Amino acid sequence: MGQTRKIALTVNGKRYEEEVEVRLTLADFIRHQLGLTGTHLGCEHGVCGACTLLLDDMPARSCITYAVACDGARVTTIEGLDDDEITIELRAAFTREHALQCGYCTPGMLIAARDLVLRLAAADERQIRVGLSGNLCRCTGYVGIVRAVRAVIDQRRQRGILAVPGGGRTALGPAGSGHGATTSASDVARVPAAKTELRSENNGAIAIPDFTPAKVFKDHFTVAYPPGAVFDMFGDVKQVAACLPGASLTAVPTPERVEGLIRVKLGPIAANFHGAARIERNSGNLSGRIVGAGSDQRSRSSTQGEIRYRLVPIERGTATRVELSIGYSLRGMLAQIAREGLVRDLAARLTVEFARNLERQLSGTPPGEAQNLNGVSLLMGPLGMRARKALRRVFGR
Ligand code: FES
Ligand code: FES
């Protein structure tokens, strides 16, 4: 985990005090740390408006706002507007006017539209179109959206509800809490560039420091062999490496330590993570831990990872459920691309391949194609779609 800072803020009326990485965006904080996924992410460059929320009552792009800059702020997401009168009217109008199809842009669109309903004296189409020009919709062609916003403004003014000049704002300029931005910005500036060089021990070996993973998730797979046989196989480092797609050893392993290379192909970026891992095993409860560090010079990225496993007997001990806890921290260029969902997808695919290869090894089947995948390409299937989307966001391709 990189440099962190404690922030206190109110989100949808609830107060939070949270430790956040200084480079964490408000969008990722809201979605991943608080679990409020109504705030969507599209371009992540402040262009599409999908991530719009209210920051101290002003619409703001949460994808280009640091969470630390919101220390002391009042944040309102689409979930916090469930009972908001204007939003209720807008939701009904959006439904009536067919102002959404896939709905991806809708949370940000509703928040931007609510601001217009609040501020515009009359339902002027040009002003509405200009006001919504920072919110992109790939589906509707905007006609229904504009009609819906016009209708709500019209109806409210007819009911004698006047516009609030400036939406009640007292300050011009980018939305922010006005509390934490100054100190936070300097914190952000002090964040060192990602180090991709691995530290070495006195004997020149790659150091494997202990660390607290920034992200942790669970996975599992089953193998049609008893836990004892699986545990013995996990003790054979060479065989385990042969089961892992894209992995190869770069030094003779010991039961406690392994050095190697793993190839991950992410669109045009072929990353070769070179690193080392420490292996711990507990034969008493058939569990283990592998903790490692690696770096890729070409993509200037580095990672630390930890896999904890536990072997649970199933089907009267004739088969095994392998329970995994996978933790990692990623720095550098790949950290921009490899959002949490993408890494989970990659890990899920690796796990499936690993489980298949493990069963082959246990059955004594000689290594086949699947055991020698030429790197792990993320350009296949749904995972590829996400990778390509992420790359387009970062590289504009
Ligand atoms: S995701 Fe924030 S503006 Fe596009
Ligand atoms: S409804 Fe699909 S992007 Fe707007």
168 Cβ partners below 8 Å, 6+ apart? Answer: 57, 118
pTM of the entire predicted model: 0.54
pLDDT given for residue 192 in this prediction: 43
Q: From the CA of 127, how far away is ligand 2's center (Å)?
A: 21
Distance CA 344, CA 372 (A): 22
What's the longest Cα–Cα distance across the chain?
Answer: 80
pLDDT given for residue 114 in this prediction: 96
- Relative to the CA of 41, which ligand 1 atom is closest? 1
**Which protein residues are within 6 Å of ligand 1, measured from CB?**
41-44, 46-51, 61, 63
Q: From the CA of 27, how far away is ligand 1's center (Å)?
A: 9
Q: Whose CA is nearest to atom 2 of ligand 2?
A: 102
Distance CA 17, CA 310 (A): 34
- Relative to the CA of 44, which ligand 1 atom is closest? 1
Q: From the CA of 147, how far away is ligand 2's center (Å)?
A: 15
Pocket-testing residue among 29, 53, 55, 63, ligand 1, by greatest number of atoms within 8 A of Cβ? 63
Q: Print pLDDT tens along the chain (397 aa).
A: 568 899 999 999 999 999 998 889 999 999 999 999 999 999 988 889 999 999 988 899 999 999 999 999 999 999 999 999 999 999 999 999 999 999 999 999 999 999 999 999 999 999 999 999 999 999 999 999 999 999 999 999 999 999 987 776 655 444 544 544 333 334 444 434 444 455 666 666 777 777 777 778 888 999 999 999 999 988 888 888 888 878 888 888 888 888 888 887 654 566 788 888 888 999 999 999 988 888 887 777 788 888 899 999 999 999 999 998 888 877 776 666 666 666 777 777 778 888 888 888 888 875 554 443 434 444 334 444 454 554 454 334 3
How distant, in Å, are the alpha carbons of 125, 282, 326 from that of 294? 55, 25, 15
